[in-house]
Amino acid sequence: MASKLLRAVVLGPPGSGKGTVCERIARSFGLQHLSSGQFLRESLGGGGEAGAVAQQYLQRGLLVPDHVITRVMLAELEKRREQHWLLDGFPRTLGQARALDGICQLDLVISLNIPFETLKDRLSARWVHPASGRVYNMDFNPPQSQGVDDLTGEPLVQREDDRPEAVAARLRKYKDAAKPVIELYKSRGILHSFSGTETNKIWPYVYSLLSSRIPPLLSEEEH
Ligand code: AP5
Ligand code: MG
């Protein structure tokens, strides 16, 4: 008999390490990692409506309207009805959480709590490989050769919204929007919070939590 499909969410402010921890979870447990920010960035060049609307918000570090991101994410989830998945960056508002409730029942929500002071430094040191979404940090997780992706050798770029003005706006907006979402999942008993500035330190706890729900493909050290 097929095991129940896992529906998980990772919440956390910009720069808290959602993308980093989701990549590890996805590799270790064979889940689909679905990043709302990544979908939006991919839609920018496509000439569609979502891309055109999103561009104005992303550049300024603002949240895109609920109906825009909800349409994008529900369409992506619809394509993955038969897969285990892990959402990164969605839902970010109560309206989005309610829309998600309409299509599934979440099993697990991971919330990353990182001091706000740490976040600004991290974001300015972040470089990404646009085609794959792989994330590097010049201090914590640098590429093997400076400025290029480890797997493809293609150039790394800095995200527009990692500029200092946009970062400050993103951090301000996050708190107000996220609070009711965190409260909602806490009240359902599915919220698991992890505090600390090091992904490597919280990883054993995250790994053991996920292992209690789904069999791992890789050992804790292999990620
Ligand atoms: P999105 O792409 O989701 O960005 P974000 O939430 O702002 O988060 P980030 O991707 O910046 O950070 P992260 O937590 O993934 O951290 P990462 O692992 O990269 O969204 C972008 C924009 O899209 C939003 O601003 C909004 O406009 C829009 N949007 C997206 N979803 C939306 C929604 N649902 N509703 C409305 N609008 C939406 O790590 C950060 C850096 O830190 C990296 O350099 C990493 O290497 C490094 N790092 C990670 N862990 C550590 C560590 N332990 N120690 C040191 N460095 C570390
Ligand atoms: Mg991210």
Query: Residue 197: its pLDDT value, please?
Result: 73
Structural domain range at position 53: 7-212
Q: Is the pLDDT higher at 198 or at 152?
A: 152
Domain count, the chain: 1
Kindly state whether residue 156 falls inside one of the protein's structural domains. Answer: yes
- Hey, which of 23, 39, 42, 135 would you mutate to test ligand 1's pocket, going by the most ligand atoms within 8 Å of its Cβ? 135
Kindly state whether residue 202 falls inside one of the protein's structural domains. Answer: yes
| Contact residues of ligand 1, CB 6 A cut-off | 12, 14-20, 35-37, 40, 57-58, 61-64, 69, 89-90, 92, 96, 122-123, 125-126, 135, 137, 140-141, 161, 170, 197-199
| Residue 212 in this model has a pLDDT that exceeds 50 | yes
Most distant CA pair in the chain, distance: 52
Query: Which residue's alpha carbon is at the smallest distance from atom 52 of ligand 1?
Result: 198
46-56 residue pLDDT tens: 777 778 888 88
- Residue 205 CA to residue 196 CA, distance in Å, equals 12
- Residue 2 CA to residue 16 CA, distance in Å, equals 34
| Residue 21 in this model has a pLDDT that exceeds 90 | yes
Which ligand does the CA of 196 lie closest to? 1
Q: Would you call 80 a catalytic residue per the annotation?
A: no
Instruction: For residue 41, report the distance from its CA to the centre of ligand 1, in Å.
Output: 12
Kindly state whether residue 222 falls inside one of the protein's structural domains. Answer: no
74-123 residue pLDDT tens: 999 999 999 999 999 999 999 999 999 999 999 999 999 988 888 888 88
Query: What b/e string do you get for 91-114 counting C-beta neighbours within 10 Å, with b at 16 or more?
Result: bbbbbbbebbeeeeebebbbbbeb
- Residue 106 CA to residue 109 CA, distance in Å, equals 8
Which ligand does the CA of 71 lie closest to? 1
Of the candidates 90, 121, 112, which has an alpha carbon nearest to the alpha carbon of residue 198?
112
Kindly state whether residue 221 falls inside one of the protein's structural domains. Answer: no
CATH code, domain carrying 68: 3.40.50.300
